[in-house]
Structure 1
Amino acid sequence: MRNRLTGFKQGILLSACLGLAPASLLAASSDWVYAVLQGDTLSEFGKQYLRKDIDWRQVQKLNQIRNPDVIRPGQKIRVPSSWLNAQPSAAEVVAMTGDVRVQRKDSNGSAALKMNDRLVLGDRLSTGDDSSITIRFADTSELTLLQNSELIFDQLSLFGDSGMVDSKLRLSQGSAEARVKPRMDARARFEIHTPSAISAVRGTEFRSVYQEGSAAARVEVLTGGVAVAAEGVSQLVPAGFGTRVKQGEAPVQPKELLPPAEFMPVANEIIQRNYNLQWQPLQGAQAYRVQISDTPRFSTLKTDEIIQQPGFFLPQFNNGDYYLRVRGIDNLDIEGRGSVAQLPLRVQPLPPLMVYYPWQQAVVGNYYQFSWSAPEKAIRWHFQVARDADFSEIVSDQQDLGQSLSQKVFLDQPGDYFWRVASVDENGNKGVFSPAATLNVQSKHRILQGDWLADRQTVRIQIPGLSHDRYKVQLAADTEFQQILEEWNRGPGELELDRFMSVRYIRIASVKGEQHGQWGESQMIAPDIHNDTAALISWLSGAAFLL
């Protein structure tokens, strides 16, 4: 083996497959290793795979096969790639985002890639900041190239009508994630070369990284297995393990990948800008890789960052369904198994906050008043009241309310009611409904609900969120928040304010430790200028009735 590896003095050979023994490392990197199937003969093999000027007897001699008619299923046959009947193949762009460019063979410059473009032998592919691309090969294997990476197509071949694809790629910088189609007959070959490693895979999902600054290659295996050889030492890396190889050194002992992170619950609809995504700290993690995609397969990435703490402010994206993936990174920079969470982002236009004025508790003739704030981009409202939390028993449904920030509804049946409001912007776009608020109607009589005399000096606002969420909340007298009246660092729930007689503005930001994300839209809260007389009469008449 030492003699065979002499040509790799400046590199490391890694071989990954389903069922490929480490002994196959003896084959030169330019050789194809074929696993014999039931019924195979060397003569039929030659007709299907070899060039017309190559006789099958040359394969017999190379592999020291005594009887060409007796080859065992599973037996490995080594064939130089130059002997094979290869036809040019191509890879296709199936997803991309950001700045992705290709330099064609024999071209001095590069050009921007487009969807469905084809990549062929000799092409050089590069990605810029916040850019990524997924390409699909002729056998449906896929590779995703991450940001600030460069990949060169050294070989793309299809062998006759066998379906066997030979792909050799050179990752000169950055990161690639491969999903290689399994082939139990061991015919396909897929290699990724780096300046310090070669990953030869067959039916494997793995990650390959080359860090130019440290001249080190890293391989993390998710399915299948990887045989790693360097400096005369070979290691078999099974699924769920990773290794790191520096030039001139043997591969480190395979190390188990860190387990998936455990996410804190995420709201069914995220309505807070720069929402703080949280997960439990992973033991052994020195850092975390955070990736966000708009596809569940992570074919392209909108975010790809390494952070030190278990929390991340969601960037400002448009409304849509996004996917979060987090991996722990250990002290060897080996990345662990990923956790994935769905992120249903619904921040445009922002739903209002529920507002409770003291006079709203006055019930005269069973008319109840509901009020809310006004996000800065909202001009109309969709208001609903229902008897159930799923809003299948609608009591009131006002779909095009104007500038008014309140609505009066007649409720003459006791029990629990649920109400919510959605904003509509100037373009007619309706946002999601606010989290439903509850109202308990205790009687059909003209009785004040609640202790009006005690509550009349306060205004209450409902701050939405989950129990583990933390927010910074500011209340101001102006839209620019130059005149800040109060500030809180708190969780979700009811916020109680002193009663005010002029317009107020409120804004909310997610909090992570000592930091907070960008502020959400400011929301106007109308002043409490209603006359208390009707409320007092209602309360007194209700008290008299109870007596």
Structure 2
Amino acid sequence: MKYSLVGLCLLALPCAVSAASPDAVPDWIYTVRPGDTLIDIAQTYLNQPNNWRPIQRDNQIPDPKMIPPGTQLRIPANLLKHEPSSAQLIALTGKVAFRPGDQAAWQPATVGQKLAVGAEIQTPSEGYAVVELANGSRVAVQSASLLALDTLSLYANGLMADTRLRLKEGRLGIVDNPARQSNQNLRVITPTAQAVVRGTEFRVGVDGQTTREETLSGAIAFRAATKTVDVKQGFGSLSINAKAPQAPVALLPAPDVGGLPQRVEQLPIRFPLPVMEKAASWYGQIVAAAQAEPVLLAKSSTGKTLNFSDLPNGDYVLRLSALDALDLQGYVALHPFTVFARPFFPPVNQPRADGVVRSPRPQFSWGQIVDVAASHIQIATSADFTHPLFDAEVRSNHFTPDADLPVGALFFRVASLDKTQGPWTPPIAFTYKPAPAAVDLTKAAMQITSDGLTYDLPKPDAGLHYLVSLSAKRSMQPLVVPAVESHSGQIVMPRFGVGDFYLSLRLVDDSDGTEGPAVIQKISVPITRPYLLP
């Protein structure tokens, strides 16, 4: 791939790179101290100590032995003592690979690994790496990225650094020269751009022939196709096919993360995304709360949630930012949260959510979680379980109360017990509604007539009806005549014969057909009433 060099130069400190020679190493700027002479400076810093006269000429120094303190000398890098530097991998996530050169075989990367000139770093689709340079600059290599370390050079006994990074694909986040040392030169070369940076925080991304730059602090002169655009702090721009940069646009602000959950008890993790004007997509990274690196998980989303598959129990920080329609990434908001999801709570079988139980001591049951031998169940009249009616630890996946439940709305929840207790299930609401009571026969009146049998019962309560069956056997099978239902309390049965019979009466709930206990009454129809013969 051909790499055309479109310049980006920090405005806060002037670049010492010739526009005609974008690949040249910047000149070293040396500030004269009291007692300095050109000969002393040359002895200390030049690769050929006697080669001080070009410095005197180029800087117009009349007397090489009498230089006013504070004078700034511009010294070409090719005259300076030079030594190779190195970088170090200080954090990584996933199967990050490296190779010592672009023709070498890829190898697994490890934390603490030294990287020499020519080394390349490749991150997978869910990988991440952080490279630290000799001056403390940190380069975060995002997922699906390929970075080459083209130049790692130190000059003048380490007082000047020249670093060139080539981003072949993907994205970088860079905090350059955090100690604000002088004469620290960092360039990031992409297929369509070059960033010459000193002491700033910015991001660079490559997507085919498009390079995006986002300035988080400082200011950048974005140069392409002989045109320069100033990209100030809080703005971003892009260059497509090495054409002139587009006009900078304001980066989106850090999103409001106040509505995001602070405690996660169920996996996968789903963060509801805030409503934000001009946000076209979202990008999130998760790091451990105790350390800023490495990134453990990173995800993008164009929907209403940002989802992460799995994390062990612990404290974390979500770094969330919005991207605009140009895919320029805005400022990051930090959201601390805790994952407490293991051991996983079990799936509940009975009672079902919002269900109705009829037994005063129903069985509660739930699924079995692998490698979890015990469970904790609570039953209460309120969803906060402040005063549970039942609170039990059981070494099974079911529980039956040892006392009757109160009538009305109730809640229960279950948690798995391992070495520690896991999270509770969400409160599961249910209702205990007792089954209909037994029929009261004290106010019943039975009459046998030529038409059959008439049974007068008190009118049942609202929502109930009577169910009456007649059989010649105590087992109530088979029936002599079809069962009769009544909402009024009057039961009429046709002629059915003479002899001994059994009459079963019970109340039934209209809403779900739940039957109360049967009251069975034996009746005798004498032969003296032949009109009852069918």
Which range, TM-score by smaller chain?
A: 0.5 to 0.7
Point out the more displaced range, 109-118 or 340-349.
340-349
SS in 1 for 2:330: strand
Looking at structure 2, the residues matched to 436 and 109 of structure 1 have their Cα atoms a distance apart, in angstroms, of 55
Aligned equivalent of 1:265: 259
Which one scores higher on RCO, CA 8 angstroms, separation ≥ 6? 1
Q: Which residue of 2 aligns with 1:237?
A: 231
Match status 1:91 vs 2:84: no
Measure the CA separation in 2 of the matches of 1:286 and 1:277: 17
Match of 1:299 in 2: 294
User: 2:320 maps to what in 1?
Assistant: 326
Distance 1:183 1:235 in 2: 28
Q: Is the 8 A contact 1:373 1:405 kept in 2?
A: no
SS in 2 for 1:92: strand
Match of 1:424 among 410, 413, 417: 417
- Partner Cα distance (1:321, 1:343) in 2: 6
Contact 1:271 1:351 in 2 (8 A): no
Conserved? CA contact 2:283–2:298, under 8 Å: no
Q: Which residue of 2 aligns with 1:223?
A: 217
Quick check: 1:198 aligned with 2:194?
Answer: yes
Superposition TM-score, scaled by structure 1 size: 0.64
CA distance, structure 1, for counterparts of residue 328 and residue 189 of structure 2:
18
Report if aligned partners of 2:284, 2:320 keep a CA contact under 8 Å in 1. yes
What is the CA distance between 1:337 and its match in structure 2? 0.9
In structure 2, relative to structure 1, the CA distance for the partners of 1:245 and 1:371 (3 Å cut) is same
Report if the CA contact (8 A) 1:324-1:342 is conserved: yes
2:131 to 135, 138, 141: 135
Deviations 1:73-127 (A, max 9, x none): 5x76544333222222211111112232222238542222222111001112222
Higher helix share: 1
Post-superposition CA distance 1:343-393 (Å, at most 9, x none): 43333322357979978998xxxxx9996745544430246899xx99999
SS at match of 1:59: helix
Determine which of 337, 341, 354 is the counterpart of 1:347: 341
Q: Write the distance in 1 (CA, Å) between the matches of 2:257 and 2:273.
A: 4
The one-letter code matched in structure 1 to 2:120 is R
Q: Which of 7, 11, 14 is residue 21 of structure 1 equivalent to?
A: 14
Give the percent of matched residue pairs that are identical in Structure 1 and Structure 2: 24
User: Residues 94 and 128 of structure 2 are in contact (CA less than 8 Å); yes or no, is this contact kept in structure 1?
Assistant: yes
How big is the shift at 1:406? Answer: 5.7
Aligned residues: 430
> Closer, same or farther in 2 for the Cα pair 1:88/1:31, shift >3 Å?
closer
Deviates more, 1:331-340 or 1:155-164: 155-164
Q: Distance in 1 between matches of 2:237 and 2:379?
A: 59
CA distance in 1, matches of 2:41, 2:390: 76
Where do 1:85-484 residues align within 5 Å? Answer: 85-105=81-101, 107-159=103-155, 161-162=157-158, 164-212=160-208, 215-263=209-257, 265-294=259-288, 297-305=292-300, 307-351=301-345, 373-374=366-367, 376-377=369-370, 378-382=372-376, 401-405=395-399, 422-425=415-418, 428=419, 430-433=421-424
Q: Residues 78 and 193 of structure 1: is their aligned pair in 2 closer, same or farther, counting only changes over 3 Å?
A: farther
Distance 1:250 1:145 in 2: 26
Q: Secondary structure at the match of 1:282?
A: coil
- Please tell me whether Structure 1 or Structure 2 has the larger radius of gyration of its CA atoms: 2
**Match of residue 483 from structure 1:** none
CA distance in 2, matches of 1:234, 1:193: 17
CA–CA separation in structure 2 for the residues paired with 1:210 and 1:373: 51
SS at match of 1:61: helix
| Structure-2 change in CA distance of 1:151 and 1:62 (3 Å) | farther
Q: Bigger shift: 227-236 or 33-42?
A: 33-42
Whole-angstrom CA distance in 1 between matches of 2:330 and 2:308: 22
Q: CA RMSD in A?
A: 4.6
Mapped contact 1:171–1:192 kept (Cα < 8 A): yes
Partner amino acid, structure 2, of 1:138: A
- Residue deviations 1:136-179 (CA, integer Å, cap 9, x gap): 12222111112222211111123455454332111122211111
1:36, 1:71 within 8 Å by CA — same for their partners in 2? no
CA distance in 2, matches of 1:384, 1:62: 85
Classify 1:172/1:423 alpha carbon distance in 2 versus 1 (closer, same or farther; 3 Å): same
Q: What's the TM-score, normalizing by structure 2?
A: 0.66
Runs of at least 5 residues in structure 1 that lack an aligned partner in the other structure: 1-7, 363-367, 411-417, 439-449, 457-497, 502-530, 533-547
Bigger drift between 183-192 and 30-39 goes to 30-39
AA at the equivalent of 1:324: L
